[in-house]
Copies of this chain bind each other. A is one copy, B any other.
């Protein structure tokens, strides 16, 4: 089975070697084996694990919590429930984030229209006077 160096993995996952070493230092990569001289050898499965780490990171999970998950993985079957619960919780979190982004997008869309109209009028004033009641004349 062939392996990859740290810079190859960095390139493949669009990370820096600094970041990968930092992850290792933080205990996120206990599964990465070394040559007798200490050089990291990333297996295919290590890259898959890193993809899971990146996935968790993109849900906003802090590295220390990701480390908990990695520790559970090392602990074997006795932690299956924790790991399941964690992913269920992450799922809920991501769904909440998507809801949040939806609302954000609505406001942004609103602003896009606001500025489109203002640009066409050449001034923001078209919006400002909206709420002032104009007396019959």
In the complex, which residues of chain B have a beta carbon less than 8 angstroms from the beta carbon of A119? 80-81, 84
Q: How many Å from the CB of A55 to the closest CB on chain B?
A: 5
How far apart are A22's CB and chain B's nearest CB, in angstroms? 21
1/0 contact string of A34-76 vs chain B (CB within 8 Å): 0000000000000000011001001100000000000000001
Stretch of A1-9, A25-33, A89-97 at the chain-chain interface: A89-97
Selected from B97, B112, B123, the residue in CB contact (under 8 A) with A77 is B123
Identical chains bound together, number: 2
Separation in Å of the A89 CB from the closest CB of chain B? 10
Question: Mind listing 13 A-B residue pairs with CB under 8 Å?
Answer: A52-B107, A58-B104, A80-B115, A80-B118, A80-B119, A80-B123, A84-B112, A87-B108, A87-B112, A87-B115, A90-B108, A94-B105, A97-B101
User: What is the interface of chain A mostly: helix, strand, loop, or mixed?
Assistant: helix
How far is B105's CA from A97's CA once the two chains are assembled, in angstroms?
11
Chain B hits for A58, CB < 8 A: 100-101, 104
| In the complex, chain B residues whose CB is within 8 Å of the CB of A97 | 101
Contact with B along A93-137 (1 / 0, CB 8 A): 011011011101101110110011011001110000000000000
